[in-house]
Amino acid sequence: MKTITHRTNLILIFPFLASILNAAKAPNFVLVYMDDLGWAETSVPMIKGREDTSSDFNQTPNLERLAREGMVFSACYSPSALCAPSRNSLLHGMTPSRLRYTVLSAVEAKKEYLGQITIPQALKKANANYVTAHFGKWHNESIKPTEAGYDVTDGPNGNGPGDFDDDRKTHLPEEDPKRIFSLTEKSVDFMKEQVKADKPFYLQLSHYAMHIWHDSLKETREKYRSLSKGRKYQKKDDLPEEEIPIAMYNHGWIINYAAMLDDVDRAFGTLLDAIEEIGIKGNTYVVFTSDNGGGFRGNNPLMAGKGSLYEGGIRMPTFVRGPGIKHGTYCKVPVVQWDFLQTFYDLGGGREPLPADLDGGSLRDVFEKGNKGRVKRNTKELIFHFPWHTGMAESVIRSGKYKLRKDLDSLEMELFDLSKDIGELTDLSGEMPELVRKLDRKRSAYLDSVNAETVTLTRRNYVELLKGGWIENGKNRLAKLKAELSADPDNQQKAFQVGVSQNHVDFQDRQLERSTRLIKMHEQRGTADKN
């Protein structure tokens, strides 16, 4: 009887010990980072019960699968309305303002890189066994992937490799549009290698999709040509066969866009399947999000899109699955991607304090408690600063349910209650002037504390570049394309390229005049050095 009892006790103890060991094992992290994917472009409603917050044309069944198995973040923000600043901010857990990387690197204020901590470095600080990898679009000229601490990488890539082979003349193979499938294959191979080596890992798969130029599998395009049409469908989308090759160079064809997203979703399904097959689903966090807003043919119900600090430019489709996250839940707590570094460090077992100047806070409490969770940050408010030199220069502060937006040229301000008005249709600034002044003071104080770039500074740098060769190079390229078209006047593809190039040259001429005029305005008004 004693022997039987002893064996019974062992049988009961073993699962308990196994659960303890599993809980103590460092988790894996998979971050799938999209490019230019709008908040309501997937088939997952971003607000529970609101079908208008999802697409009625695009199909993303694997994202639906992730949403069922995890949490949908209805109010997750990208750090910026553009690619590069968002990627740099996510990497360092700091706002673009603090990093002085608010627009595009070429026009940024020159600032010595101070060796700010990165996600790979933070995870290795939490646990030296972590192996880290980045595949796909890097687009961060302040630092290279290897310098950031990535063990495995395919290089500091910009947008180009997502459209062309290395010579930038030959399009990618038809079977691998935007490198969607080859990037996924690399990612799966990396995960398998780390599981075999019994190493925890961090993997960032940064897709070139959905950035222009749009591309997709032919069979996927054919699927969407036969589907019923959605809200954004227009008559011009019903293209005859002979016009399709030209449409492939044009990012305005909704069928091609939907097909590209479908291809991404299929590849994402392959990634999820691999996580299950290699037995790490229970110990792996999967995060799917985007670097800035889309707004393809409008971003309803949100206002504006890429290049804007209205919600459509910075509110991201975001889904998270992993240990401790309840299935099929929605979270409306405002979070931002500069929170990810602190979050991964915390979940990865980090206990030592991180640098005090990080702007993010751990999302562990939100992962575990949903809407009852809280995020502790050094700065309570979320502040977005976008001194955009070619478009609308603006600055935003979100505090609780309120969002204040300031036009940095006109100095006009708008106040919105996002709990009732995510479309930002009702300006409350006239009704609540004291709150406007209070929030603007907080916004300005933070930007001053981090020595944030002014729009006059970015414009001065931009003008210098335009005069220093950008305009001349654009005109030389246009002349070359026109000569090629003259030699082959029936080449529709070449004609399209001439049109694109001409638009670019005209745009730069207009921007030189505009930037020069606005610089002078700020200097005369005394606001050139103010945010």
Question: Domain containing 430 — which CATH number?
Answer: 3.30.1120.10
Assigned token pair, 262: 């479908």
Structural domains in the chain (count): 3
What pLDDT digit, counting tens, does each position of 204-220 carry? 999 999 999 899 999 99
Task: Report residue 354's pLDDT band, with 50, 70 and 90 as the boundaries.
Answer: very high
Based on the domain organization, do 445 and 459 belong to the same domain? Answer: no
The answer to whether residue 336 is domain-embedded is: no
Based on the domain organization, do 37 and 63 belong to the same domain? Answer: yes
Residue 15 pLDDT greater than 90, yes or no: no
The answer to whether residue 342 is domain-embedded is: no
Rounded percentage of the chain residues whose pLDDT exceeds 90: 85
Torsion of CA 505, 510, 516, 520, to 10 degrees: -170
- Whole-number pLDDT of residue 21: 43
Based on the domain organization, do 415 and 281 belong to the same domain? Answer: no
Residue closest to 82 by CA, chosen among 164, 12, 24, 158:
158
What pLDDT digit, counting tens, does each position of 153-184 carry? 999 999 999 998 877 778 899 999 999 999 99
Based on the domain organization, do 67 and 186 belong to the same domain? Answer: yes
- Whole-number pLDDT of residue 308: 97
Rounded percentage of the chain residues whose pLDDT exceeds 70: 94
Query: Which residues partner with 413 through β-bridges?
Result: 406
Task: Report residue 223's pLDDT band, with 50, 70 and 90 as the boundaries.
Answer: very high
Question: What is the residue-wise DSSP string for 410-444?
Answer: T--EEEEETTT-TT-----TTT-HHHHHHHHHHHH
- Whole-number pLDDT of residue 59: 98
Residue 1 pLDDT greater than 50, yes or no: no
Residue 470 pLDDT greater than 90, yes or no: yes
What pLDDT digit, counting tens, does each position of 55-68 carry? 999 999 999 999 99
Task: Report residue 5's pLDDT band, with 50, 70 and 90 as the boundaries.
Answer: very low
Residue with tokens 């780390």: 194
What pLDDT digit, counting tens, does each position of 475-508 carry? 999 999 999 999 999 998 899 899 999 999 999 9
Span 228-242, average pLDDT: 91
The answer to whether residue 359 is domain-embedded is: yes
Based on the domain organization, do 410 and 288 belong to the same domain? Answer: no
The answer to whether residue 136 is domain-embedded is: yes
- What secondary structure letter does DSSP report for 526? T
Span 28-54, average pLDDT: 98
HEC profile for 73-140?
EEEEECCCCCHHHHHHHHHHCCCHHHHCCCCCHHHCCCCCCCCCCCHHHHHHHHCCCCEEEEEEECCC
Compute the distance between CA of residue 118 and CA of residue 130 in angstroms, rounded to an integer.
13
Based on the domain organization, do 174 and 237 belong to the same domain? Answer: yes
Residue 51 pLDDT greater than 90, yes or no: yes
Residue 275 pLDDT greater than 80, yes or no: yes
Residue 2 pLDDT greater than 60, yes or no: no
Give CA 401 to chain center in angstroms. 23
Indicate which CATH number applies to the domain containing 228. Answer: 3.40.720.10
Based on the domain organization, do 407 and 292 belong to the same domain? Answer: no
The pairing of beta strand 152-153 with beta strand 131-136? parallel
Based on the domain organization, do 360 and 395 belong to the same domain? Answer: no
Q: Please say which residue of 397, 423, 449 terminates a domain.
A: 449
> Residue 223 carries which side chain, given as an amino acid letter?
K
Based on the domain organization, do 393 and 515 belong to the same domain? Answer: no
Q: Please say which residue of 449, 472, 506 terminates a domain.
A: 449
Given a contact cutoff of 8 angstroms between Cβ atoms, the answer to whether 386 and 102 are in contact is yes
Given a contact cutoff of 8 angstroms between Cβ atoms, the answer to whether 30 and 284 are in contact is yes
Task: Report residue 110's pLDDT band, with 50, 70 and 90 as the boundaries.
Answer: low
Task: Report residue 369's pLDDT band, with 50, 70 and 90 as the boundaries.
Answer: very high
Span 270-298, average pLDDT: 96
pTM of the model: 0.94
Task: Report residue 88's pLDDT band, with 50, 70 and 90 as the boundaries.
Answer: very high
Q: Compute the mean pLDDT over every residue in the chain, rounded to the nearest whole number.
A: 93
Residue 364 pLDDT greater than 50, yes or no: yes
Give CA 445 to chain center in angstroms. 27
- Whole-number pLDDT of residue 251: 84
The answer to whether residue 2 is domain-embedded is: no
Based on the domain organization, do 82 and 147 belong to the same domain? Answer: yes
Contacts of residue 204, Cβ cutoff 8 Å, sequence gap at least 6: 31, 33, 119, 133, 134, 135
Radius of gyration of the chain (CA): 24
Question: What is the residue-wise DSSP string for 16-76?
Answer: HHHHHHHHHSPPEEEEEEESS--TT-SSS-SSTT-GGGS-SS---HHHHHHHHHSEEEEEE
The answer to whether residue 340 is domain-embedded is: no
Based on the domain organization, do 131 and 22 belong to the same domain? Answer: yes
- Whole-number pLDDT of residue 113: 61
- What secondary structure letter does DSSP report for 228? P
| Structural domain harbouring 428 | 384-449
- Whole-number pLDDT of residue 7: 46
Residue 451 pLDDT greater than 90, yes or no: yes
Q: Please say which residue of 392, 417, 449 terminates a domain.
A: 449
Residue 16 pLDDT greater than 60, yes or no: no
Residue closest to 386 by CA, chosen among 443, 450, 455, 336:
455
CA distances from 297 to 40, 133, 312, 382 (A): 12, 34, 12, 28
The answer to whether residue 317 is domain-embedded is: no
Based on the domain organization, do 508 and 389 belong to the same domain? Answer: no
Residue 104 pLDDT greater than 90, yes or no: no
Task: Report residue 77's pLDDT band, with 50, 70 and 90 as the boundaries.
Answer: very high
The answer to whether residue 99 is domain-embedded is: yes
